[in-house]
Amino acid sequence: MSGQQKVAIVTGGSRGIGAAISRALAAEGHWVHLVYQSAAAAASDVAAKIAADGYAVTVHQADVGAEADVARLVRDVQSAAGRIDVLVNNAGVINDRLLAQASLAQWEGVLRINLIGTFLMCRAVVPVMLDQASGRIINLSSNSVRIPGPGQTAYAASKGGVEALTRALAVEVGRKGISVNAVAPGRVKTDMTDPVVTQLGGRAGPRWGVPEDISGLVAFLASDAADYIQGQTMTADGGRLITRPRGNSA
Amino acid sequence: MDLTLDTLINLIKEVQPGLRDTTITGTDSVVDDLAIDSLDLLQLSRRISRDYDLDLDLDAWNAGADEHKRSVSSLLGFLAAPAEV
C-alpha cells in the first residue's frame, strides 16, 4: 500500500458529521469520494473547500437505500480509483415519532437508509476489499441505542441494528484483513439533530459536540494505528453516557 | 495463461495462508480436507475471475458435492467445463 493513495467513500458526506469526516480523511491523504443524496449544493461546497486545500475529492449522487444506486456508485468509484480502502457509512435520517403514532412507511424509511443502506454499501464494497485483502469499514451509530429519547424507536432500532451488523460483519471478514467498527456519537450539533434537541437534552450534562469531535475518531479508525481494533462500537459523547443525572444523589 | 492444478492450488494458498506449508493434491477436498469456508471460496472465485476471466458458479459446483466431494480437481474440471462436473 505504501506510495499508493488510499481511497475512501463517505456516504452522507455533504453536511454535518459526514462533511467533517470527508475533510478529515482528505487531510489524512485519502482520495475522498463524497456521496450525497439530495444536497447537491452542500456537497459541491464541501468538495470545493477540500479541493481548495489541495486534496483529492470526487462527488457522487446516490441513494444508499437503493440497490441500483449503490451498485452504480461502487462501480464508478472502482473505475475511477481502482480500489476502495475505507468505507464510512454515515448517511442517516432521523424521523422521530411516538411508536403508537408511527406509520409503517415512516418506520421503514428510517430503517431503509440507516440500516439497509449500511448493509447495501457493505455488501457492494466487501468483495472489493476481499480482492485487496484489506479495508476499513466504519459505520455511524448513535448514543440513542443506549439512551434513546421518546419517539426514537425507529432511529434507535436502526442504529442498534448497525451495531449488530458491525460486530457480525467483523466476525465474518475480519480474518481477511478487513476491519469493521462503529462510532456512536452523542449529541452533536448538525442540521439533522436540530429538530430533536429536546429529546437529546438541551442544557444539562456535557457540552454539545461538534462534527469535528466525531471526524477525528473516524479518521483514527481509518488509520494504520487502529489496525488491532475490530468489531467495536466507540462512543464519542463528551462523557454523557457516564454522567449521573443532576439531582440523583444515590 | 491457463488455470492449471498448480496455479489453482497457489490461489487456494493465497486465500488461506494457513495452508502455505501444506502439500495439496487434486484429490483433497477443498472443504473437508483443506477447511476452505464460504468466504474463502468467494474470495477464491473472485481471484479466478480476475486473473483467469473464468466465472465460478459456486452453487452449481456445490450441487455436485456428493459425487465429486468438492475435490480440488473437481473445481478445476468444473471451471474448464461447468456442465460436465
Find the CATH number of the domain harbouring A195. Answer: 3.40.50.720
Instruction: Kindly report, residue by residue over A82-106, the tens digit of the pLDDT.
Output: 999 999 999 999 999 999 999 999 9
Interface check for B17 against chain A (CB to CB < 8 A): the answer is: no
Quote the pTM value. Answer: 0.90
How confident is residue A4, by pLDDT bands cut at 50, 70 and 90? confident
Domain-embedded: residue A67:
yes
Domain-embedded: residue A123:
yes
Domain-embedded: residue A241:
no
Instruction: Kindly report, residue by residue over A32-69, the tens digit of the pLDDT.
Output: 999 999 999 999 999 999 999 999 999 999 999 999 99
Count of structural domains, chain A: 1
How close B55 gets to chain A, by Cα (Å)? 15
Interface check for B47 against chain A (CB to CB < 8 A): the answer is: yes
How close A231 gets to chain B, by Cα (Å)? 18
Domain-embedded: residue A247:
no
Which A residues in the span 145-204 are in contact with B, Cβ-Cβ below 8 Å?
172-173, 176
Q: Note the pLDDT of residue A76.
A: 98
Q: Note the pLDDT of residue A204.
A: 59
- Domain B5-15+24-84 falls under CATH 1.10.1200.10: yes
Domain-embedded: residue A141:
yes
How confident is residue A1, by pLDDT bands cut at 50, 70 and 90? very low
Domain-embedded: residue A244:
no
Edge-to-edge strand order for the sheet containing A31-36? A57-61, A31-36, A7-11, A86-89, A135-140, A178-185, A233-236
How confident is residue A2, by pLDDT bands cut at 50, 70 and 90? very low
Q: Which amino acid is at B20?
A: R
Q: First vs last Cα of chain B: how many Å apart?
A: 22
Average pLDDT of the segment spanning A161-175: 97
Q: Domain range holding A92?
A: 7-236
